[in-house]
Amino acid sequence: MEVKTVGVACDHAGYPLKQFVLQYLEEKGYPVKDYGTWSDAPVDYPDFGHALAKGIESGEVYPGIGICGSGEGIAITLNKHQGVRAGLCWIPEIAHLIRQHNDANVLVMPGRFIDNNMARQIMDEFFTASFEGGRHQKRVDKIAIK
């Protein structure tokens, strides 16, 4: 995957994992745009998910990483945007498949259910897997509502 600037967003439940994600991205040398939140004080995940999604749609960032407690709330929010294909991953194999088959441009992780080691494995897979195209391209083309 060709990385432009990685957009990162989370809610309070995802904040601890986001701190690890930022460290990982720095180690890999990826530029980052942090859409928040910036503490573990309670916030609403849609506020940060929409900001990340707008960054993806505008081309300001590619790809993105979203984190909330279960991962579901921020994934639902991200996927309301036409230019976003966010996939929730809790094991590396799913991260591989969302890139390979769905051309996912946002990785979503459940902050309350995975540890840093699993997050590292998931991100390694997400950043190294490639979209296969072919039979998958026609499916991806059908996702956006026109």
Neighbours of 64 (CB within 10 A): 25
CB half-sphere exposure, 31, CA atoms < 13 A: 7
Which of 10, 12, 68, 81 does the annotation list as catalytic?
Answer: 68
Residues sharing a CB contact under 8 Å with residue 103, sequence separation 6 or more, in sequence order: 85, 131, 136, 137, 140
> How do 64-68 and 32-34 pair as beta strands?
unpaired
Active site residue 10: no
68 classed as catalytic = yes
CA–CA distance, 131 with 102 (Å, rounded to integer): 7
Q: Mind telling me the catalytic residues? A: 68, 101
